[in-house]
C-alpha cells in the first residue's frame, strides 16, 4: 500500500548528486568534475577538497565547459559538467548537439535547479523545456531521479554508462522515500504500487506528489498503479505498456512543460502500441515566475489535488 511507504527525512536532490560524485571520485580516477562558477550550489566541495587535480573551474563560460568536457573524453576521462539546468541545456544547446551528442562523447551533463521548484529565482532560471531538448538529441540518455537516495545512485550509475547522459535534479529539500544503497538501473521503471483502475507515471520531484495522490485515490477505493519513470530516454516501453494494458488509462506527471517531456514520451508509446485515455499534469505551454516552490506547484496545476483530479478524469474517459 502507498500509505505504508516510509519517509526517511528530507534532503535536496542536488546533495544526492554531490555525495554520488564524491563516491565516484574515491573509486574511479577517471572521473573529472567541471563547473561554471557554481561549485557550492552543485555540492562539489567534498570532491574538490579531496580531488583538486580532477576539478576544473570553468567560470561563467558554460559553452567552453562543454567543449572542455568533450575533449577530456578523448583521453579516457569521464567528465561531469555541472551548472543550473537552464545553463546546462538552453545556453549551450549547440555545443551539446555538435560536440557531445553528434560526436558520441562520454560526457555526463549534470543539471541542478530545474523546474518550478527552483522557486524565487524566477522564470529565467526555471527551465521547463530541458527534458524535451535533451530527449530529442540522438544517443542522449535522459534521467530524472525522484529523491536524494535515487539521485546519488543515478550519479554513480551513469559513470559506468558509455555515452552522453543528461541528469536532472533540483534545489529544494524533498522527502526521501527510496532505499539507501538501492542499485539504479538505467531504463528500468520503478513501481511504488500495483493497481488496476488507473496508472500514474511520474518523474523527479513529482513522484512524491504522485504517491500522495495515489494514497488519496486508494482511500476513495480506486486501485492505483504509481510508476517512477526516472529514465525518460531510453523509455521502459515494456513497463509502460504492461501497465497501460492493465489500467487502460493513465496520468503523466512532470515538473516540465507537457509539450516534449515525459507525457509526450508516454503518449507516443501509447499511440503506437495501445491507445488509451491519458491526462497530462505539467506546465501548460508557459514560463514560470518567482515564488515559493510549493506555491508555484499549486498555481501551475502540479499539486497533489491536480493529480487526483486528472486520474479521475482519465478513469471517466475509459
In a domain, 185, yes or no: no
pTM over 0.85: yes
Q: Which structural domain range is residue 240 located in?
A: 190-316
244: domain CATH number is: 3.40.50.920
In a domain, 252, yes or no: yes
Answer yes or no: do 139 and 196 share one domain: no
62 annotated active-site: yes
What per-residue confidence (pLDDT) applies to 222? Answer: 98
pLDDT band for position 75 (cuts 50, 70, 90): very high
For 237, the grid coordinates are 516501453
Rounded to an integer, the average pLDDT of 217-240 is: 98
The mean predicted confidence, pLDDT, of the chain is 97
What per-residue confidence (pLDDT) applies to 186? Answer: 98
End position of a domain, from candidates 127, 143, 175: 175
Rounded to an integer, the average pLDDT of 283-305 is: 97
Answer yes or no: do 213 and 159 share one domain: no
**Structural domains in the chain (count):** 2
In a domain, 1, yes or no: no
Answer yes or no: do 208 and 290 share one domain: yes
Above 90 in pLDDT, residue 140?
yes
Answer yes or no: do 159 and 218 share one domain: no
- C-alpha angle 164-86-297 in degrees, rounded to nearest 5: 115
Above 90 in pLDDT, residue 100?
yes
Whether the Cβ atoms of residue 34 and residue 81 lie closer than 8 Å to each other:
yes
What per-residue confidence (pLDDT) applies to 1? Answer: 83
The residues that bridge with 252 in the sheet, in sequence order, are 201, 280
In a domain, 253, yes or no: yes
**How far is residue 288's CA from residue 151's CA, in Å, rounded to a whole number?**
24
Catalytic residue among 62, 129, 212, 218: 62
- Give me the numbers of helices (H) and strands (E) for the chain, helices first please: 12, 14
Amino acid at each position: 500500500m502507498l500509505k505504508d511507504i516510509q519517509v526517511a527525512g528530507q534532503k535536496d536532490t542536488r546533495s544526492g548528486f554531490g555525495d554520488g560524485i564524491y563516491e565516484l571520485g574515491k573509486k574511479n580516477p577517471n572521473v573529472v568534475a567541471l563547473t561554471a562558477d557554481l561549485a557550492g550550489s552543485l555540492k562539489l566541495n567534498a570532491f574538490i577538497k579531496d580531488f583538486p587535480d580532477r576539478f576544473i573551474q570553468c567560470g561563467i563560460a558554460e559553452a567552453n565547459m562543454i567543449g572542455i568536457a568533450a575533449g577530456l573524453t578523448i583521453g579516457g576521462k569521464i567528465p561531469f559538467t555541472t551548472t543550473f539546468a537552464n545553463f546546462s541545456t538552453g545556453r549551450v544547446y549547440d555545443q551539446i548537439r555538435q560536440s557531445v551528442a553528434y560526436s558520441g562523447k562520454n560526457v555526463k551533463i549534470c543539471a541542478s535547479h530545474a523546474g518550478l521548484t527552483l522557486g524565487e529565482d524566477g522564470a529565467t532560471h526555471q527551465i521547463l523545456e530541458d527534458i524535451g531538448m535533451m530527449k530529442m538529441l540522438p544517443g542522449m540518455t535522459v534521467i530524472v531521479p525522484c529523491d536524494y537516495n535515487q539521485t546519488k545512485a543515478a550519479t554513480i550509475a551513469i559513470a559506468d554508462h558509455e555515452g552522453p547522459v543528461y541528469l536532472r535534479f533540483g534545489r529544494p529539500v524533498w522527502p526521501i522515500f527510496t532505499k539507501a544503497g538501492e542499485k539504479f538501473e538505467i531504463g528500468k521503471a520503478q513501481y511504488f504500487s500495483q493497481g488496476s483502475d488507473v496508472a500514474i507515471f511520474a518523474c523527479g520531484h513529482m513522484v512524491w506528489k504522485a504517491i500522495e495522490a495515489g494514497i488519496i485515490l486508494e482511500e476513495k477505493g480506486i486501485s492505483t498503479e504509481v510508476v517512477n519513470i526516472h529514465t525518460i530516454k531510453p523509455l521502459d516501453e515494456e513497463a509502460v505498456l504492461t501497465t497501460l494494458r492493465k489500467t487502460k488509462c493513465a496520468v503523466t506527471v512532470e515538473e516540465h512543460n507537457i509539450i516534449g517531456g515525459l507525457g509526450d514520451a508516454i503518449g507516443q508509446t501509447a499511440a503506437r502500441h495501445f491507445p488509451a485515455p491519458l491526462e497530462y499534469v505539467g506546465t501548460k505551454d508557459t514560463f514560470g515566475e518567482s515564488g515559493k516552490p510549493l506555491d508555484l506547484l499549486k498555481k501551475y496545476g502540479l499539486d497533489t489535488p491536480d493529480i487526483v483530479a486528472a486520474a479521475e478524469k482519465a478513469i471517466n474517459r475509459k
